[in-house]
A = this chain, B = another copy of it.
């Protein structure tokens, strides 16, 4: 199954318009796509109210919006593959399970692109605050496949 078909099978809804903002959801440079940071709708702080499971769900939400951002520049997910995720986790200073939270994004990438094409480098960083109190924000680099 193609990445595009797999994404729809998983219930990802690409008909939702990306919110208009003074900046762009995704910018192309050469063969690379750089997305803006995409926040989860889930708000709150890991290690201070939110569980790792809630954080995992938030990372998946943010990644779903990353894919939507990518599709504003690439006609289809079948024309791209992930390269790198930078995940920011809204976390209390003592919280150290940021990788388990970001698995919500990694697992969704593997589900959509398959484990090989979906493989990516990533970082999971705990930060003091995110826009609107979001639990997770993810920015990504994707590669455009040669036609």
Residues of A in contact with B (beta carbons under 8 Å apart): 22-27, 29-32, 34-37, 45, 47, 69, 83-86, 88-89, 91-99, 103, 106-107, 110, 119-133, 137, 139, 141, 143
Contact = CB atoms under 8 A, between A and B. Distances in A.
Contacts of A36: 84, 121-123
B37 A122 contact: yes
Contacts of A123: 36-37, 86, 88, 137, 139
A88 B120 CA distance: 20
A35 B26 CA distance: 19
Contact of A86 (B47, B93, B103, B139): B139
A107 to B, nearest CB: 8
